[in-house]
Amino acid sequence: MRFARITLGLLLTLAGLVATVAGAVAAFWLVGPDNTISTPGREFASSGLAVVTAPTLLDRHGPTLHVSASGNKPLFVGIGQDLDVRDYLAGSAQTRLIRFEPPGTFGTQDLRGRSGKLTPPGELDWWVAQSAPGSQSLSWPMQDGRYEVVVMNADGTPAVGAQVSFGVQVHRLFGICLLVLGAGVLVLALGLALMFRRRKVADVAADNATTTEIPVPVADRIPALAAVASAPAAQEANSPAYRVSPFAPERVSPFAPMQQTEPAAKPAPAKPAVARPAAVKPAPTPVPAAPMFMSPAAVARAKSPALIGASQRYDEPPTYDEPADRTESVEPTVERTEAVEPETVPLAASPEFEKSDEAVRRTAALLASGALLLTTTSCGLMPPKNSLAAPDSRPAVTLADAQAVVQRYNQLNNQANQSRDAKLSATIEGNPTLAQTQAGFVIGRKLDAAGKDVSKPFSYTNPEIGAPQFASYPMRFVVSSGVSNAPGARQLGVWQRENAGSPWLLTHSVYPPKAADLPSVDGMRTPDVSALNKLRSQPATVAKDLAAYLSGGPNAPQSKLFTPSPALSSMLKLRATTKANDTAEPYIASVTDAFLPSGEPLAFITSSGDALVFLTLTEQYLQRVEPGSNAYWTSGEATAFSSMVKYTQSLHQDYLHQVALVIPTKSSGEAIRVLSIDPQLIGAGGQ
């Protein structure tokens, strides 16, 4: 078992040494007390607009990612979803980090493209994490999905140069490294103890008890007279030819008995007939000293009476079977003593084997417990791999960002209205809302040149946000809010971002009446094919039917499909009255009023399954001039676009209408509800 013990000790020593070195290096060189594994700073330079990591580099989630950068110019460090970063940098020159080899080697790839200035990244709201102005560093708990780290100039210009370092903070990592270090020290100490342990005397005796012994041969017969006569000579002959120690020749085995000299036997009196020798008890034969290689158990067996013939009875005289007239002596017959076989103990049942086996079992159990402890405490260290499939989808905007967008619009819109600044309005609005606003500014400057009749400041209050999921651009979200200058009134608006680098713009905006039953924007989503098939009619078809309804008036066949809003009914009555009055003019031959759909409707599926649809209609109100006559605009809003110009064939006024309506499902059996229609004159002229 000594070989097994040394072998096990050697293995434990090697394993403990490796664990100790690995734990020490990991704890005090790679990790540190902050539980962060950091890469050395690496110089990245790009002639393009950004240095970007590929989504595959951030393929795990859970730990906290630390990124820091420094350079000659103010830098921006941000983390965004792949769909945002990809769209933002689409077609632009950039450098991508496509491979990482620990501890700090990156593989890069330069992509060609445009080098024009981009929207400053700090002005965009889709970053999931970004550096504060001037700090050029960030920390971000890594999330499941496809994310990219972007380092670029803060002003969006090309030629990026930065020294970048990355770090990953894993919870309890430093403690686990210390635990590995401590476990390595314990295993190393255990291995050394097994290898160099000094054995106790009791263990040596127990081990020697299992040593195979050579039994001492025992004579079957002992000559009676010769043995008695030659006892002293036998003692000399049987004395050992060696000693226990060459340095102490006088020292014999402690197991050898003391030699005693028996007194000479008195001769027996002569008998008249046959001379019988007297029964003489032979002197005990001294046991030779045990050699050094004999174990105590072997010495004990060597001294056993069964081996040296002590079991023979000498107190009885030998029996002679001879004739009466014979006088020679005959060897007495002595009892035959059977040789006793030495006791053999199986190896598996020996005490030393049991002790060694128990020690091995305890050592194995200790190591298994330590391995289980390390596995249990460190199983959560390996971050799980990302599972979200590409392309990712996300809400168009967060609630906080949407509220910030509305607040910014309130501020800039009032400034633009006060100064009738169409350029400022273009930074916060998009068509068709922008077209209506710009036309209103033109009319205002014409009819109110002094600027006395400007609109009073107002704001959208208590916005409710509906942000559907999108997997690509453009992205949109819906806002239902109050209006500060019209208590009880509501506004429905659609904000849209055309691409990742563009700002949010208010594209559709209507003002339903107080009595309108507005759908909830909570849980709103973009329509799919199955949701559209459940509707009473498709949004594009509804736009055409509504245009036909408005063109034909209340008696149009399509009017049965709709439940008009109060504003729509009022507009139809106004158009009918205007047509009648204009036809009565002597210079007007006829009047037509035509509505047409413009652009694609925007549809959103509500939580009830109905569709909230925003669409745009154009209207041309056309007056044909009587032959030989002429006509021109002398007053009103039309003069802002055509003033004092005489037309001989026709006059026309162009309107842009924004409409919001609800398309119910087929199962409901309800009509299409028109929530609001908001017109704006955008042009006038003639032929």
Cα 650 from Cα 625, distance rounded (Å)? 5
Q: CB–CB of 684/652 below 8 Å?
A: yes
Strand order of the β-sheet with 490-497 is 460-466, 475-483, 490-497, 505-510
Boundary of a domain, candidates 169, 191, 225:
169
Helix (H, G, I), strand (E, B) or coil at 611: strand
> Residues 553, 419: one domain?
no
CA distance 648 to 686: 8
Using one digit for the tens of pLDDT, what is the confidence trace for 575-600? 999 999 999 989 899 999 999 999 99
SS3 653: strand
Pairing of strands 42-46, 160-169: antiparallel
The full 3-state SS of 15-33, as one line of letters, equals HHHHHHHHHHHHHHHHHCC
What is the C-alpha separation between 407 and 413, in angstroms, rounded?
10
Q: Which two tokens stand for residue 457?
A: 């400041």
| pLDDT at 180 (0 to 100) | 80
What's the distance, Cα to Cα, between the start and end of the chain in Å? Answer: 116
- The pLDDT score that the predictor gives to residue 94 is 93
Tokens at 565, concatenated: 């809003």
CB-count exposure of residue 416 (10 Å: 0-12, 13-18, 19+): buried
The range of the structural domain enclosing residue 74 comes to 36-169
State residue 326's pLDDT score: 43
User: How confident is the model at residue 261, as a pLDDT?
Assistant: 47
Q: What pLDDT score does 466 carry?
A: 95
CA 408 to chain CA centroid, Å, is: 37
More confident residue, 530 or 40: 530
Task: Write down the pLDDT at residue 322.
Answer: 46
Please give the mean pLDDT across all residues of the chain.
79
Confidence of residue 234 (pLDDT cuts 50, 70, 90): very low
What is the model's pLDDT at position 284?
54
57 vs 227: which has the higher pLDDT: 57
Q: Which of 137, 169, 201 is the last residue of a domain?
A: 169
Q: Give tens-digit pLDDT for 65-81.
A: 889 898 888 999 999 99
Residue 629 CA: distances (Å) to CA of 585, 649, 651: 12, 8, 12
Residue 548 predicted with pLDDT over 50: yes
My answer on whether 485 and 619 are in the same domain is: no
- The predicted pLDDT at position 618 comes to 97
Residue 569 amino acid letter: S
Q: What is the CATH number of the domain that holds 97?
A: 2.60.120.380
Least confident among 245-249, 319-323, 638-642? 319-323
Same domain, 58 and 154: yes
Is residue 84 scored above 80 in pLDDT?
A: yes
Rounded CA-CA distance 388/655 in Å is 47
DSSP characters over 480-499: EEEETTSTT-EEEEEEEESS
Query: Do both 485 and 539 map to the same domain?
Result: no
Residues 582-596, buried b or exposed e (16+ Cβ, 10 A)?
Answer: eeeeeebeebebebe
Please check whether residue 46 is in contact with residue 94, taking contact to mean a CB–CB distance below 8 angstroms: yes
Inform me whether the pLDDT recorded for 442 exceeds 90.
yes
Judged against a pLDDT cut of 70, whether residue 16 lies above it is answered with yes
Percent of the chain with pLDDT over 90: 46
415-422 average pLDDT score: 94
Long-range (24+ apart) CB contacts under 8 A made by 364-369 are 366/190, 367/12, 367/187
Coil, helix or strand at residue 184: helix
Q: Are residues 87 and 129 in the same domain?
A: yes
More confident residue, 95 or 386: 95
Instruction: Return d(Cα 165, Cα 97) in angstroms, integer.
Output: 13
pLDDT category of residue 461 using cuts at 50, 70 and 90: very high
Among 46-60, 352-366, 525-539, name the most confident range.
Answer: 525-539
Higher-confidence residue: 514 or 411? 411
pLDDT at residue 675 is higher than 80: yes
Q: Is residue 296 part of a domain?
A: no
Domain's final residue, options 169, 204, 227? 169
Q: What is the mean pLDDT of residues 438-451?
A: 92
Clarify whether residues 426 and 536 are in a common domain. no
Contacts of 78 (CB under 8 A, 6+ apart): 121, 127, 129, 130, 131, 138, 149, 150
The answer to whether the predicted template modeling score (pTM) of the entire model surpasses 0.95 is no
Write the CB contacts of 247 (distance below 8 Å, at least 6 apart in sequence): none
User: Has residue 523 got a pLDDT over 70?
Assistant: yes
- Is 524 part of any domain? no
Q: Which of 622, 628, 626, 631 is nearest to 588 (CA)?
A: 626
Same domain, yes or no: 504 and 582: no
Is the alpha carbon torsion for 587, 590, 591, 597 positive or negative? negative
In this prediction, residue 38 has a pLDDT band, given cuts at 50, 70 and 90, of: low
546 and 660 assigned to the same domain:
yes
- Residue 287 pLDDT greater than 80, yes or no: no
Structural domain includes residue 377: no
331 domain-assigned: no
Q: What is the pLDDT of residue 330?
A: 44
Regarding whether 616 and 534 lie in a shared domain, the answer is yes
Give tens-digit pLDDT for 190-209: 778 777 776 555 555 555 55
Q: Considering the domain boundaries, does residue 321 fall inside one?
A: no
Does residue 668 fall inside a structural domain? yes
Q: What is the pLDDT of residues 603-656, one digit of tens each?
A: 999 999 999 999 999 999 999 999 988 888 888 899 999 888 889 999 999 999
Question: Rounded CA gap, 538 and 536, in Å?
Answer: 7
91 Cβ partners below 8 Å, 6+ apart? 113, 114
Residues 594 and 456 in one domain: no
Model confidence over 470-504: pLDDT tens digits? 999 999 999 999 999 888 789 999 999 999 999 99
Burial classification of residue 566, based on how many CB atoms lie within 10 Å of its CB (0-12 exposed, 13-18 middle, 19 or more buried): middle
Orientation of helix 351-378 relative to helix 2-25, angle to 10°: 20
d(CA 601, CA 668): 22
Whether residue 475 sits in one domain with residue 418: yes
Tell me, what CATH number does 420's domain have? 3.10.450
Confidence of residue 327 (pLDDT cuts 50, 70, 90): very low
Residue with more model confidence, 19 or 277: 19
How would residue 392 be classed by pLDDT, with cut points 50, 70 and 90? confident
pLDDT confidence of residue 313: 46
What is the per-residue pLDDT across 160-194, written as a single tens digit (0 to 9) for each?
A: 998 888 887 676 666 677 778 788 788 878 778 77
Residue 29 pLDDT exceeds 70:
no
* pLDDT in the model for residue 300: 63
Q: Which is more confident, 5 or 249?
A: 5
In a domain, 358, yes or no: no
Three-state DSSP class for 369?
helix
pLDDT-derived band at 40, boundaries 50, 70, 90: confident
Report yes or no on 202 lying in a domain. no
**What average pLDDT score do residues 81-88 get?**
93
Residues 568 and 661 in one domain: yes
Coil, strand or helix at 570: helix
CB 614 within 8 A of CB 521: no
Please give the tally of structural domains in the chain.
Answer: 3
Q: What is the pLDDT of residues 335-380, one digit of tens each?
A: 454 555 555 555 555 555 555 556 556 655 655 555 555 555 445 5
